[in-house]
Structure 1
């Protein structure tokens, strides 16, 4: 790993702050629509453009700051934990899989969007498991109760990913597909 990449330079801190602020604004703007938010797509795209470290920092700052606007409780820790699981799964397993498969650019972005949508389902399953543990309830009851919300999260991520990818890709120094 490059030493320069791990240092918190002023440029990197500024990028983290600006993208976190953008995500907080998006999260607050879409708060009336349950689980329809572009932030999951942003976190996933940032993890491939700037690395998992920046993505985790942006996600944690977004969740903490937006919780002051939308409500703070033990679920904030579960949101951070769930997004961390999703981001690690995406960055180290699913995104490299899309690079191994040799498709043209459109098919690759379509596959990435589909897998990004699946990350919405995975996020829902992880956070539903955390809630079931917190409230000592049967796991399947939370999964069934949250199925429509998880589906909405998956569909919104599937739609936002290809829309936001070319916008966020402009901030990168390297080619990202």
Structure 2
């Protein structure tokens, strides 16, 4: 229960930070819609969806606060289509950790598409392991067993991320990123 309270406090802090910025809300809502619809369209392929790649690209080009807001709302809104549960807050936390990794590696990732794809591969595992925490907390499952059982899904998520990052990067930049000057 304490974990959920901490996650909600983090979410409130991100929303408060977002309120005080001049981030392009129209662009973010378009990316949010793509992430939610993309997650729904690929539901037949377990753990393969463009949402993580879109969040990573948002972090790379629009910064922490924008990507963190998407990390919060993608699982909530896609949960309305796919099902809500206690895992939604852990999905937010997992994507928030992925966003933090991208922000920390931003200078390197902007110059190497292959490194970005490799980080996308790792993001599949980071997200999956964080989501596993919800099952460990809610039903008391053994976390190590969850890691082993989720391995094929985390691999699929990671490979999907890498492929989506390679395929979507240039299109994302061309459509959403406005380089003035």
TM-score interval, smaller chain: 0.7 to 0.9
TM alignment of 1:151-170, pairs within 5 A:
151-170=155-174
Question: Which blocks of at least 5 consecutive residues in structure 1 are unaligned?
Answer: 1-5, 100-104
RMSD: 2.0
User: Is the alpha carbon distance of 1:139 and 1:47 closer, same or farther for their aligned partners in structure 2, counting shifts above 3 Å?
Assistant: same
Say if 2:151 is the partner of 1:147. Answer: yes
Matched, 1:79 2:99: no
Judge conservation of contact 2:90–2:131 (CA < 8 Å) in 1. yes
Structure 1 partner of 2:14: none
Length-normalised TM-score, structure 2: 0.81
1:51 to 1:145, Cα distance in 2 relative to 1, 3 A: same
| Residue of structure 1 equivalent to 2:137 | 133
Distance, in Å, in 1 between the alignment partners of 2:89 and 2:48 is 20
Count of residue correspondences: 161
Residue pair 1:116, 1:157 contacting (<8 A) in 2 also: yes
Q: How far does residue 90 in structure 1 lie from its aligned partner after superposition?
A: 2.0
Normalised to the residue count of structure 1, the TM-score between the two structures is 0.83
What stretches of structure 2 of length at least 5 have no aligned partner? 1-19
